[in-house]
Amino acid sequence: MYSLKEAWIKMHGHLPYEGWDGRIQCDRTDASMTFRANTTQGFMSAYTFTLVLQGWLSILYNGKELTLARNDLYIYSPGMSVTILSASENYRGLCLLVDEHLTLETDSVRDMIRVAYLPIVRVREPRICLAEEVADRLRARYEDILDYLNADIAQKEAILEHLLAIFLLEVQGVAEQSPETDKAGKRKEDVFVGFVRLLPENFIKHRDIAYYADALNITPTYLSRVVRELTRRTVMGYVNQFLVMEATFLLRTTKLSIAQISDRLHFSDQAAFSKFFYRLQGLPPKEYRKIR
C-alpha cells in the first residue's frame, strides 16, 4: 500500500513543503481536489479525517452510497474500499491525514485506531454528524495543525504529535457521545481495536484466526463472535480484504510477476493466489493488471 508520502506525491505531484517527513498533513480541499483521492483510496496506508465545511460530497463506502453534508466528519481507515462519486461545486472541507506507521510508533496508537473504527463499530458507517458548536471547535483543531505545519520552528514534529493527540481525544469524545451509537461493551470494543491494531503488520504472514486470538489472549470463537457482532463482518473477511488490497496495489504499481507477487504474499503457489484473487475480484490477476 502507499505510504502517506507516496500517496500525496501520486495525488499532487509534489510534496506539500520542503523537508516534509510524510507523517502528518492537513489541507483545505474543494470539489476538484477531492477527486484526486480516488487514485489512492483503498491503497493508502493512512488514516484521514475530513470535516465538511460547505456543500456536499457523495462517496461509495464498501458498496454503500453515502452523502456527506456540512458539519459531517468522515473518517477513512486503511484498507477500506472507498470511491468518491460526486461533489457539489461549492464543496469545501478540511482534511487531516496521518500515516499509519506514525500511529504504530506513538503512544496515541490506541486512541487513533479507536477513533478511526468507532464509527464502524457503533454507527456502522464512517460518518459522524456534528452539532454546529462541536464542528466549530473541531475546525479550530484543524486550523491549529495547519498553522504549525506552515511554521518554521524547532520541535515542530513533537508539537504536531501533541496536537494530533488532542484532536483524537476530541473526536473520540464526540463519537462516544453520539446519539446514534450502538453501545457496545467496552471489553468487546477493546478486543476489536486490538485485532485491528495487529492486522496491518501481520495479515501477509498470518491468515488464521488462532494467531490473532492468541495475541489477544482470547479464544478464536470469542474473537470471531466479537468481530461479527460489532461489524457484521468476519475475521477472515478483514484479513482477505487487506490481502486483496495489497495484491491489487502490487499489480498496479510494480512490475513484479504474478509468481513473485504470489510469493511475496505467502501463497503456496501462483495457482492458489490466482484462485484467491479471482474469488474476491472476479477476474484473474493477469487480466486485472492488463485492464488497470
Note the pLDDT tens digit of each residue in 134-144.
Answer: 999 999 999 99
Q: Where are the domains of the chain?
A: 4-177, 187-292
Percent of the chain with pLDDT over 90: 43
Q: Which of 46-55, 105-114, 165-174, 244-253 has the lowest mean pLDDT?
A: 105-114
More confidently predicted of 219 and 1: 219
| Greatest mean pLDDT range, 105-114, 124-133, 235-244 | 235-244
Average pLDDT over residues 37-58: 88
Contact (CB, 8 A) for 210 and 220:
yes
Q: How far apart are CA 225 and CA 236, in angstroms?
A: 12
pTM passes above 0.75: no
Strand order in the sheet with 82-87: 64-68, 57-61, 82-87
Note the CATH number of domain 4-177.
2.60.120.280
Average pLDDT over residues 234-250: 90
| CATH match of 187-292 with 1.10.10.60 | yes
Percent of the chain with pLDDT over 70: 87
Query: In this predicted structure, what is the pLDDT of residue 133?
Result: 94
Average pLDDT over residues 219-234: 87
Cβ contacts of 48 within 8 Å, gap of 6 or more: 75, 76, 95, 96, 97, 98
